[in-house]
């Protein structure tokens, strides 16, 4: 693995030296950056910065600021911490811990089936503890915030190569003070197959909604199967809201213990009054299960399991895009990378722009790769179109000869 300290920065965001782009989403782009101090002291951080064409979208900016406000109140060993919320030439950014690791989503996909029970039980006990902290945290004045994450899924659970699990992305979380407004506005958040029944029903949410989502994620990690994922979004919602039965994990993986199956069933109860009353209660049951089974793993044990499961990722360089970050643009001029990202995420808003970019790429290929004959064909096509427009314009605007007035008919007797 290369020494990241040797990489020259490609840009600067605030006081951070950017060394590469890690990812780009629908609202923000993610960079790996370096924070430097005196005497060559430095650490690597992740910068989440709002996309250039989103800076004029008040709703998107409000969501970004909202995430910063909530996350600044969270301090837990299994929640990815925010170091700074800043403004870089009119574009907000968050500086946060770089969790060098792998998501549970990628681990499930790589395994193609169930993950080891001790590993899953420990990872999700840690996440339950992180959720309990969010659900019970208070602001600077001591007022309970009662934050609900609303997007708990395997993609947002990161297991560090150091064996420490982190819960990520509170971007769509809601605090008690704003939850009523969010629900009434119909802002459905989260990925369809992980959303609780009460969230689909538009009810006021509490921490038990996240417990359900965590149960779906844990079920998938233990069985390799998402219990509610269907061929269409409609069928997925129907399975969560209308089907009263909670599937048994042991039907898919018979070797799972009755204790673990019972824990999953309670976390997945459709009626929230039958669910765990808190994420803390779920963590207590998982900790007790781990103790009885002798599964209590230390971070070093989790790290060793990762090295066994994904040895190639543990020793790999982070996937860095070393192109300079995009400059601020007008809303009508998105960057090609942003258009590609929206195209991949199914954004109807930018599909026309994506097609325009593809058309430009096709034209460049025609002009650049097909030689003189290709260029001639393109220019002939352009000339034919222009000639056609000229003919149409002439027909419409040409002077016309005056017409003879019609002879009035004789009045009928």
Q: Residues 267, 218: contact at Cβ < 8 Å?
A: yes
3-state secondary structure of 165: strand
Q: Give bridge partners of residue 92 from the DSSP assignment.
A: 87
Q: Give bridge partners of residue 23 from the DSSP assignment.
A: 30
Cβ-based neighbours of 357, under 8 Å, separated by 6 or more:
336, 339, 340
- The DSSP letter of residue 94 is E
- Total H helices, total E strands in the chain: 15, 9
Q: In the sheet where 157-160 sits, what is the strand order?
A: 101-103, 157-160, 165-167
Sign for the CA dihedral angle at 184, 188, 190, 196 comes to: positive
Q: In the sheet where 16-24 sits, what is the strand order?
A: 11-13, 16-24, 28-36, 42-50, 91-97, 82-88
Phi, psi torsion values for 58, nearest 5 degrees: -60, -35
Catalytic positions are: 151
Phi, psi torsion values for 141, nearest 5 degrees: -90, 0
Neighbours of 215 (CB within 10 A): 27
- Distance (Å, rounded) from C-alpha 233 to C-alpha 239? 10
Q: Nearest Cα to 50, choosing from 92, 98, 94?
A: 92
Distances (CA, A) of 150 to 134, 174, 343: 11, 7, 25
């Amino acid at each position: 693995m290369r020494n990241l300290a040797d990489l020259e920065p490609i840009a600067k965001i605030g006081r951070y030296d950017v060394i590469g782009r890690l990812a780009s989403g629908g609202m923000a782009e993610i960079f790996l950056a370096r924070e430097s101090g005196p005497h060559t002291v430095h650490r690597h951080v992740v910068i989440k910065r709002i996309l250039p064409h989103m800076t004029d979208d008040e709703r998107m900016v409000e969501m970004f600021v909202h995430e910063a406000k909530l996350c600044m109140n969270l301090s837990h060993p299994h929640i990815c911490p925010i170091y700074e919320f800043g403004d870089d030439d009119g574009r907000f950014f968050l500086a946060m811990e770089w969790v060098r690791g792998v998501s549970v989503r990628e681990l499930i996909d790589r395994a193609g089936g169930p993950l080891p029970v001790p590993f899953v039980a420990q990872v999700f006990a840690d996440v339950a503890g992180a959720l309990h902290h969010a659900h019970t945290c208070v602001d600077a004045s001591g007022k309970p915030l009662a934050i609900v994450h609303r997007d708990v899924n395997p993609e947002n659970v990161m297991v560090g190569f150091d064996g420490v699990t982190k819960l990520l992305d509170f971007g769509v979380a809601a605090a008690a003070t704003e939850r009523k407004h969010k629900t009434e506005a119909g802002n459905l958040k989260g990925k369809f197959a992980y959303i609780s029944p009460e969230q689909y029903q538009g009810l006021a949410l509490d921490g038990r909604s996240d417990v359900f989502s965590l149960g779906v994620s844990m079920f998938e990690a233990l069985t390799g199967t998402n219990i509610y994922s269907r061929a269409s979004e409609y069928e997925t919602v129907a399975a969560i809201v209308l089907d009263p039965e909670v599937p048994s994990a042991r039907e898919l993986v018979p070797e799972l213990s009755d204790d673990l199956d019972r824990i999953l069933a309670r976390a997945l109860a459709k009626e929230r009054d039958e669910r765990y009353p808190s994420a803390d209660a779920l963590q207590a049951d998982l900790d007790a299960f781990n103790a009885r089974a002798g599964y209590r793993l230390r971070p070093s044990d989790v790290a060793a399991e990762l090295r066994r499961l994904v040895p190639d990722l543990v020793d790999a360089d982070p996937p860095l895009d070393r192109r300079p970050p995009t400059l601020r643009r007008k809303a009508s001029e998105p960057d090609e990378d942003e258009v590609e990202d929206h195209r991949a995420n199914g954004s109807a808003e930018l599909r026309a722009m994506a097609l325009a970019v593809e058309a430009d790429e096709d034209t460049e290929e025609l002009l650049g790769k097909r030689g003189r004959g290709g260029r001639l064909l393109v220019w002939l096509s352009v000339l034919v179109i222009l000639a056609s427009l000229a003919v149409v314009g002439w027909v419409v605007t040409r002077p016309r000869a005056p017409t003879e007035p019609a002879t009035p008919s004789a009045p009928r007797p």
